[in-house]
Amino acid sequence: KNQVEQSPQSLIILEGKNCTLQCNYTVSPFSNLRWYKQDTGRGPVSLTIMTFSENTKSNGRYTATLDADTKQSSLHITASQLSDSASYICVVSFNNNDMRFGAGTRLTVKP
Amino acid sequence: DAGITQSPRHKVTETGTPVTLRCHQTENHRYMYWYRQDPGHGLRLIHYSYGVKDTDKGEVSDGYSVSRSKTEDFLLTLESATSSQTSVYFCAISESAGGAGYTFGSGTRLTVV
């Protein structure tokens, strides 16, 4: 079954600290993997997208990694800011048009 | 969100009544999607459209219908709303199937009482 699991479900960190969010998937055949940020009351906004041949992609303080062999991805946030408080969603595409969304990790950054 | 508008933003309706949600885009993208988002679940695809009058079912299509008579508008209809359809509904657009330019609207919070 094509599934995407994210961990942890929620995370609280202090402003300025780093954190890493995890995504494991069983989707096959794999097309690409994306990370989205979703602020409360808003739609998801794309952070990164990686294809099978890419194992890292950065967007400012956000760095995503992909290990297609173990079917794992991580999103690393450096020097967190209060505005990083949001849900982070991992999305895996397969069969060109099908996508599976993880349930998300709720990140809270405290001053 | 630039180029995509959902209406209404919030709606409360009674069980058994019909409800229509609207998604409007100004990007002229071919693909449009309707998702629902529930606590503990990832976004789940309800229906999608790959062109005017061309639509297909998604993962959780039961109880929902869609229509696309113009490129810019994609309507989601709950023929007879049930409490299990209380959710946040998101519309998304993309230029190509599974494309990188996948943009979401701001969502419609629907409560069925």
Q: pLDDT tens-digit profile of A8-18?
A: 999 999 999 99
CA distance B108 to B91: 9
Cis peptide before A111 (omega within 30 of 0): no
- Among B112, B32, B33, B44, which Cα is nearest to B78's? B112
Cross-chain CB nearest to A43 (options B42, B45, B107): B107
- pLDDT tens, B50-59? 999 999 999 9
CA distance B103 to B84: 26
Average pLDDT for A6-34: 94
Q: Which residues are bridge partners to A62 per DSSP? A: A59, A77
pLDDT at B93: 94
- pLDDT tens, B56-79? 999 999 999 999 999 999 999 999
Residue of B nearest to A40 (CA): B106
B9 DSSP assignment: S
CA distance A12 to A20: 12
Check CB contact of B102 with chain A, cutoff 8 Å: yes
Average pLDDT for B36-48: 92
Answer yes or no: do A32 and B98 touch at CB < 8 A. yes
Q: B44 to chain A: which residues are within 8 Å by CB? A: 101
Q: B35 to chain A: which residues are within 8 Å by CB? A: 101
pLDDT at B73: 98
Which amino acid, one-letter code, is at A78?
T
pLDDT at B87: 97
Answer yes or no: do B107 and A42 touch at CB < 8 A. yes
pLDDT at A18: 98
- pLDDT tens, B90-108? 999 998 876 667 899 999 9
Residue of B nearest to A39 (CA): B106
H or E element in which residue A77 lies: strand A72-77
A52 DSSP assignment: T
pLDDT at A1: 67
CB contacts < 8 A (A, B): 46
Average pLDDT for A16-44: 93
